[in-house]
Amino acid sequence: MKLKLYVWPEFEPDRENGIAFAIAHSITEAREIIVEKYGRFDRWGTVNIYPLSQKIGFVVQGGWVVR
């Protein structure tokens, strides 16, 4: 199974959407990586999945710091 980039652009919204991302083999593994490092979260939002064989870029402008 190939690695993919998993991006949650509406992660844990408070006043603004947060963003979470992981490179993993599956969405389950991606969530586990994030939870292991940062703890449990309730509001993940939608996930976008990208193969690591394509170029891609993201921007997240300022917002509220959660942690």
Give the pLDDT confidence of 25-59 residue by residue, as tens digits.
999 999 999 999 999 999 999 999 999 998 988 87
Asked whether residue 35 is domain-assigned, the answer is yes
**What is the pTM (predicted TM-score) of this model?**
0.83
Asked whether residue 15 is domain-assigned, the answer is yes
Asked whether residue 62 is domain-assigned, the answer is no
What does the pLDDT read at residue 23? 97
What does the pLDDT read at residue 46? 94
Asked whether residue 32 is domain-assigned, the answer is yes
Asked whether residue 65 is domain-assigned, the answer is no
Q: Which domain holds residue 35?
A: 4-51
Task: Tell me the one-letter amino acid at 4.
Answer: K
Which residues are within 8 A (CB) of 5 and not within 5 positions of it... i.e. 6 or more apart? 21, 22, 23, 49, 50, 51, 52, 56
Asked whether residue 21 is domain-assigned, the answer is yes
Task: Tell me the one-letter amino acid at 46.
Answer: T
Is the CB of residue 19 less than 8 Å from the CB of residue 8?
yes
**What are the helix (H) ranges across the chain?**
27-38
Examine the pLDDT at 61 and tell me if it is beyond 80. no
Examine the pLDDT at 12 and tell me if it is beyond 60. yes
What domain count does the chain have?
1
DSSP code, position 36? H
What does the pLDDT read at residue 67? 58
Asked whether residue 31 is domain-assigned, the answer is yes
